[in-house]
Amino acid sequence: MEIIEVVVPASPQIIEVTVPDAIDMIEVASPGLQGPKGQTGQPGAQGPMGPAVDTSMIALDGGNF
């Protein structure tokens, strides 16, 4: 633990501020440098639609024809 003494001019008392060693003062003061990851590329354009199905050859009830 790192102890930083801050003297306040208005009053004679000394305020002790304790900073954990894992946290650096610069790291606390500044925002994180790594921003959000950029978005990956857009998906490709949709391919052309296939030929229409000729429903006249398909039995609508699912039976054999």
Note whether residue 49 is domain-resident.
no
Looking at residue 57, its pLDDT comes to 58
Average the pLDDT over 44-63 and give the result: 67
Residue 18 falls inside a structural domain? yes
Cβ(24)–Cβ(5) under 8 Å?
A: no
Specify if 1 maps to a domain: yes
For residue 13, being part of any structural domain is answered with: yes
Domain count, the chain: 1
Kindly state whether residue 55 falls inside one of the protein's structural domains. Answer: no
pTM for this model (two decimals): 0.15
Task: Extract the runs of DSSP E, i.e. beta strands, from the chain.
Answer: 2-7, 14-19
Q: What is the pLDDT of residues 17-52, one digit of tens each?
A: 666 665 555 555 555 566 677 777 777 777 777 777
